[in-house]
Each structure stands twice: as C-alpha cells, then as structure tokens.
Chain A
Amino acid sequence: VSTLETPSPPPPPSATATVRPLAKKRARPSEQLFKWLVVGLTAITMAMLIWLITSVLIRGAGSISWSFLTDKPSSNPAKAGFNSALRGSVVLMMVTIFFAWPIGVAAALYLEKFAAQSATLTERRLRERLTTGRVSGLGAGWVHARLWWLRIRPRVVHLIDVNISNLAAVPSIIYGLLGLAIFVGVMGISKSLLAGGLTLAVLILPIIIIAAREALRAVPISIEQGAMALGATRWQAVRSQVFPAALPGILTGTILAMSRAIGETAPLIVVGGVVFSTAVPSLNPLEAGNEALLAMPLQIYFWTDQPQASFQAIAAAGIIVLLATLLVMNLVAIILRNRYSKRW
C-alpha cells in the first residue's frame, strides 16, 4: 500500500545565500508534542509486553525442566508434562504445511505471473484462428470459450484478490467453524490432528498466497523479460528464473505463516474441543487421522482453565515453551531473509 507523502515545501529564496546551521532550528511546539506522544505510546506498548513476558517467566520458570518436555499430561500438576502437546503441534505443522504450501504457492504463481498478464497477444491469435476458418464446430466453441474467459478474467482475478485479503483478516474462529463443518461434518474426518491441521492449512493459505505474491513481485520484471527475449516461454521463465529468485522470500513468508498457525487456539477448540488425554501422539504424520487433537495452545488453555494454582504455574511454563518455539521460527525467517535477500 503506497502512502501519499506530502512534499516538503521548497526552501525560501534568499538573496544572501548564507546557510543557517541546523542546530539553531527549533521544532514547532506541536511537532515536539506529537513526537513525545508517539514516543510515550511506544513506551507504553513495550512496557506492557515486557510486563507480560516477565510475569510469565517468573511464574513458569520454576516448572521448566527436561522432564516437563518429555512427560505426558497428568491430572497431577507435579507430574504433568508438555510432551503430547509438543508432538501434537509438530504433527499439526507437518500436516498444515503439506497442504497449504503447494496450493498457496501455486495460487500465488498463477495470480501474479499468469492471470495478471496482458492477454492481447493470445486474444489476437485466437481471433485470427476464427477468421481464417481453420477451426470449426467443437474447436470453434472452445476458442470462443477461451476468448470469453480472457474477457472476464480481470474481473474474476479482482474478485479473488478481494476475497484473499478478506480471508487473511477473518477472525480465526470462523476457520474453526469451517473446519468443523467441512472436514469433520462433510468429509467425516474424526476430530483429530488431521482435521486440525487441515483447518490451520486453510487458515494460513491466504497469508501464504499474499506473502508469495509479494516475493514474486519483488523480482524485477526485467529478469522475466530477459528470459522470454531469449526464447523461453512464460512458464519456463517463471520456473527457472523468477521462482528460484523469489524462493527465499516465499520461505520467509511461509515460516511467518506457520508461526501464526502454531499459536492458534480458537479454531482448534472449535474443531476438536479441549480434551484431556494421556495418549502420546505419534510423530508420523500419516497417523494424524487417528490421533487426538492435542497442541501446545490447547494444553495451555486446558491448564489455565484448572482451578489449582500449580496448574497455572505449568501453564506459564507451557507458554514459555511456545514463546521459545515462536522465537526460533521467527529467527530462522529473519536469518533466511538476511542471507538470501538480493538487491537488484
């Protein structure tokens, strides 16, 4: 989104070209006031964040231990562990990425590199084929259908555009309802890690599409045009030049989308409910359809819901683990971006 910047007023013409030192220039009171307002608001936000994190750290640090990560859940808070939730989240992420990544990247490639291109040449070629009478009957019908599609394509693409940006902003609980209705209700998948993973896949699909389109757009058009000038088709140019160049950006966006998915609670609650289970889910994603829906945010939610104070402590410990995971994922995204980002 481009913002409109007001151009700074031109310097007043002065006959004597003496340069006034900058230090003497004082900001107007309103400017000063606004600056302090912005600084103050930022400070308040940061203070709240720091307060939240430290309070969690203080409450949960005592419960963090190796056995907390390897034990299964228990009704005894002293014995309860985070292992099932960790495993559940890992399997969820595998299922989510398996479904969301190929579909999301393919959709971004089509929308950005194929659907958005001018169709004048194709249109002229199709019309020529009609006028020269080389096609007839069914073939002519097919050509007409393609011409019609080229005519309505911009409108369809705009409609899809609006819907994707809308879906990226829809509250996540709606996706839970969608998953419950479609994956559990219509498709008959049990309330399992598979159903949860599919729901999260739909949830991050628009985010992946937007990030991938952004990454594809960042590759200069001259790369593609250069390849095509050398005789490559658009598909060849995109596959061998544009896509590899955009891949680091796409991966960064994917990791950020995954870190969104790993913290989602509401859709998982709607799809699977909060269940107490001492089962330890297997890490094999092919088994995901038979495993109870367990995940880090669900386990934290379950523990915070308990009345005993000792459960609050292990909930805080769970939050620390989840935060650490998120931090690592975002760190990987940043490293990836810094290492592979190119300046054209």
Chain B
Amino acid sequence: VSKGEATRGSLQYDSIFAVGLLLFVVTLVINIIAVRIVRKYRTVYQ
C-alpha cells in the first residue's frame, strides 16, 4: 500500500498509522503477559 505513495494527511496515510498503532499495542500486550509469566515461574539460583 505504501511504497511512499500515500500523501500526508490522506485517509490512506492515516489508516496506515492506525494499523501500525494497533500492531504496536498488540505486541506490547503480548510482551507484558510474557514478562508476567517469566517472573512468575523464574527460579532464582544462589
């Protein structure tokens, strides 16, 4: 969709950012869950 063709301020341009934001939020949520799980089951040696 965007090979540098989308012009600034257009609907296309904005929706790319909306989808990007969604992708970021999904990654963040998965990571937070992962950190929780790791912290819960981590065994500390020594």
Tell me the A residues contacting B by CB distance below 8 Å. Answer: 1-2, 4, 162, 165-166, 169-171, 173-174, 177, 181, 185, 191, 269-270, 272-275
Contact = CB atoms under 8 A, between A and B. Distances in A.
Given A2-B42, A162-B32, A273-B2, 10 more contacts: A1-B42, A4-B41, A170-B23, A174-B23, A269-B2, A269-B3, A270-B4, A273-B4, A273-B5, A274-B4
Contacts of A165: 31, 35
A139 to B, nearest CB: 39
A181 B17 contact: yes
Which DSSP category, helix, strand, loop or mixed, fits chain B's interface? Answer: helix
Interface string B34-46: 0100100111110
Place the interface of chain B in its size category. 20 to 34
Contact of A169 (B4, B8, B31, B43): B31
Contacts of A177: 16-17, 20
A162 B31 contact: yes
21 contacts: A1-B38, A1-B42, A2-B42, A2-B45, A4-B43, A162-B32, A162-B35, A166-B28, A166-B32, A170-B24, A171-B27, A174-B27, A177-B16, A177-B20, A269-B2, A270-B4, A272-B4, A273-B4, A273-B5, A274-B3, A274-B4
Contacts of B8: 185
B4 A269 contact: yes
Contacts, number: 50
Given A191-B4, A273-B3, A274-B4, A174 B24 contact: yes
B29 to A, nearest CB: 10
B24 A2 contact: no
Contacts of B43: 2, 4
A166 B28 CA distance: 6
Contacts of B27: 166, 169-171, 174
A201 to B, nearest CB: 18
A2 B38 CA distance: 9
Contacts of B41: 4
Contacts of A274: 3-4
A75 to B, nearest CB: 18
Contacts of B31: 162, 165-166, 169
Contacts of A174: 20, 23-24, 27
Nearest to A305: B3
Contact of B2 (A2, A4, A270): A270
Contacts of A191: 4
Nearest to B16: A177
